[in-house]
Structure 1
Amino acid sequence: MPTGRIFSTNQIAERARKRLPRAIFDFIEGGAGSETAVGRNRDRLAQIALMPQALRDCSAAHAEVTIFDRRYSAPFGIAPMGFADLVRPGTDRALAGAAKAQNIPYVLSTAATTSIETIATIAQDNLWFQLYPGSDEAMAATLMERALKAGVTTLVATVDIPVPGKRPRDLTNGLAIPLRPSLRTILDVALHPVWGLRALRGERLGMANFVENKGSLSGLAHAEFVSRQLSCPGLDWKRIERIRQAWPHHLVIKGILNPQDALMAERIGADGIVVSNHGGRQLDSAPASIEVLPAIREACSDRLTLILDSGVRTGDDIARSLASGADFVLLGRPFLFAVAALGLSRGPDAIIDILRAEFLNTLIHLGCADPAELGSDHLWPRQGSNQ
């Protein structure tokens, strides 16, 4: 798909920076604390060198993978992202449509601005649903029932928000949903009039999956709602076991970094985990997801599907993740930036095309014709090597 003079996710992010109000760009790009974890995710991935293999027949190379009994066109999907329509009204729908058309998973967030039922009509069997178990167990059960009725067969339970992360960029910008009038906000939007006009024409933003959540969620009220519905300091394995018992299809636990937690997830019958530090948005001192991935792969059996997110930006990063032990990868920020940079119709398809093409290019350079061939032999230095 033509993208003008844009050929990489870095270029997409830079164009998005110019087109979005600072508060919105910071909401997407920012992380917890001093954003050490955000940088660590990127740095640790970039430090992984991949060893090419020459003279391998890759004439039939492809990017397709099978995960949870489904064949997908590439080893990556769209990560759950709350309030995606802050980028542009219709973002949730556009991403879901592209996921269906290009046959990759779209993971709808509990905190989405579009309902499960609406997105299910668009993404259809490419839809996964991300559940924040939260403090309200009855509410979580209702969300699971709705997802089941909508045809979802992969539930992703996120467990890494015992308390909301502290994100200084959002606090500094006075982020409110929807944006509240203030001198800072007015000046910010005035410098981005196209975004402002689209926001005015769009529907009032809220968490569409919570029927009682109507109107503005701003300042302290927003923090309190997130704390009650999305975070839960009392969440434990017994609660996750009840979710496992109640959910009849594939269950993935998202937000695992500790190998012992990965083993526990396998023990209670989870089908997979997402090795994730929440994109560096929760605990600033957390290790990078890619750092802990090999230890988790070694600790768990092959029965447990390992998905990685946090910091993945390129096709090289996807290959690095698979070579390090992941079966699949999720990306978030690049998809939102693509909508901001290229629009609803071009952005989602363009970023999928870029990532798939980059991944295939890397795969062939490594002498592989199938993503399943990637492994530790492609890492350099090789594991156990002193070179």
Structure 2
Amino acid sequence: MEAASGPFNDVLNLEDMREAARRRLPRAIFDYIDGAAEDEVSKRRNRRQFDEWGFVQRVLNDVSAIDLTVEIFGNRFAAPFGIGPTGLAGLAWPKAETLLAREAEKAAIPFCLSTVSSVRLEDVADATAAPNWFQLYIFRDRDLSRSLVERAKAAGYSVLVITVDCPTGGNRERDPRNDFTLPLRATRRNVANTAIRPGWLLRLARCGAPKPENMVEAARAAAGSAQGLVAFMNSQLDPSVTWRDVEEFIGLWDGPVVIKGLLSVKDVERAAELGARGVVLSNHGGRQLDGGISPLTVLPDARKVAGEALTIICDSGFRRGTDIIKARALGADLVLMGRNTLYGAGAGGAPGIAHVISILKSELTRAMTLLGTATIGDIAAEHVHYLGAAGHV
């Protein structure tokens, strides 16, 4: 596999890494990763949510040693964030899911593999010894989803994450504007922009176009050809899925189950009632329903109704260590990153991913020192104050 393209000395934060990825990826690929639904209101709102909360630092505490570690589902992790599931990460870098899993293991943070990964779930599991998580869609073909659960169990995944906010695909308008399709094809509109990214083209030529490897056999059986994979996958998104289906799949798993894609306190309560061990408060990074609220909006109330028994995870919009601290103060146990580590992969493979993780750990350590909190457990509601729209900068 091609080595990363140079050091990241000029990448000081995750926005810098996003810009590095934008320079190195074809526009259609970058926009597929970076884009969101329709007017992208939710995506912008996801960033503004953090401006509505200001820090209340406490001084004269001993913060000479900062401890970022957290315990989630019985496992000790080195920081309160992990790498969330992202479909077809191989568009950013060949076999990116394997790189993401390995870098997460090195950093001792959680990694969750997408159902729609460009590497077979068994191969990702074989690449690490870490207790990885597996994300599942409940497809129209329930037997296909059941088979994925059985494969994940056999491969040793420790946590099942069921995504429930995709009854249909979001309307991501950047994709048709860039003639982005899967399988990838060259058009007059995108060929010039792709041609000036020779590194990406060379990797594509060497490794082939990524496809959702976990579904290849099912698609062949249904459509007679792997070329129908994406159409097959889209046809499997099922608007008839209900809590009854979720309850069945919770029963199929032997360990913790997390329900991902909730924005309602009532849905958080329902997930707990059905036996879920955790939830992910998420608007899917703004990629599904445009205009959906952001996680911090519902987080304090979700924590109140959930108590301490339910693990509460957030994603959508996180870019800074300070963002993670605000979520912790409002009741989150963990934050998952989606686009951020894909920017790192797109900018330079494994070294780019590692640099993203390093930046976040460094920002967390510095901010906790200044806030007066020596451990993650010390971060509490008293450390943030709601500013509302007045906090926007």
TM-score, normalised by the number of residues in structure 1? 0.94
In 2, Cα distance between the equivalents of 1:313 and 1:217? Answer: 36
C-alpha change, 1:88 and 1:187, in structure 2 (3 Å) is same
Q: Counterpart in 1 of 2:95?
A: 90
In 1, Cα distance between the equivalents of 2:386 and 2:125? Answer: 44
Q: Counterpart in 2 of 1:108?
A: 113
Name the aligned partner's letter for residue 246 of structure 1: L
In 1, Cα distance between the equivalents of 2:372 and 2:286? Answer: 33
Which sits farther off after the overlay, 195-204 or 93-102? 195-204
Q: Counterpart in 1 of 2:258?
A: 252
Give SS of 1:152's match: coil
Q: Counterpart in 2 of 1:272?
A: 278
Q: Counterpart in 1 of 2:20?
A: 15
Q: 2:240 matched to 1:234? A: yes
Q: 2:183 matched to 1:178? A: yes
Name the aligned partner's letter for residue 129 of structure 2: Q
Query: Alpha-carbon deviation of 1:354?
Result: 0.6
Deviations 1:165-212 (A, max 9, x none): 111001211211232021122112112122111111113321110133
Name the aligned partner's letter for residue 19 of structure 1: R
Matches within 5 A, 1:9-48: 9-48=14-53
In 2, Cα distance between the equivalents of 1:323 and 1:74? Answer: 15
Query: Alpha-carbon deviation of 1:216?
Result: 6.3
From 39, 55, 58, the equivalent of 1:53 is 58
Name the aligned partner's letter for residue 244 of structure 2: K
Q: Counterpart in 2 of 1:192?
A: 197
Q: Counterpart in 2 of 1:147?
A: 152
Name the aligned partner's letter for residue 181 of structure 1: A
In 1, Cα distance between the equivalents of 2:375 and 2:253? Answer: 32
Give SS of 1:209's match: helix
In 2, Cα distance between the equivalents of 1:348 and 1:204? Answer: 21
Q: 2:296 matched to 1:318? A: no
In 2, Cα distance between the equivalents of 1:142 and 1:264? Answer: 25
Deviations 1:13-52 (A, max 9, x none): 1111111111011001100110000001011123321111
In 1, Cα distance between the equivalents of 2:178 and 2:386? Answer: 43
From 80, 83, 93, the equivalent of 1:78 is 83
Sequence identity of aligned pairs in percent? Answer: 38
Q: Counterpart in 1 of 2:333?
A: 327
Q: Does structure 2 retain, via aligned residues, the 8 Å contact 1:179–1:185?
A: no
Q: Which runs of 4+ in 1 moved over 3 A?
A: 213-218
From 289, 294, 297, the equivalent of 1:288 is 294
In 1, Cα distance between the equivalents of 2:359 and 2:51? Answer: 18
RMSD: 1.7
Query: Alpha-carbon deviation of 1:90?
Result: 2.5
Give SS of 2:213's match: coil
Q: Does structure 1 retain, via aligned residues, the 8 Å contact 2:216–2:226?
A: no
Deviations 1:215-257 (A, max 9, x none): 7658xx73x423333x210110110111111111010000010
Name the aligned partner's letter for residue 18 of structure 2: A
TM-score, normalised by the number of residues in structure 2? 0.93
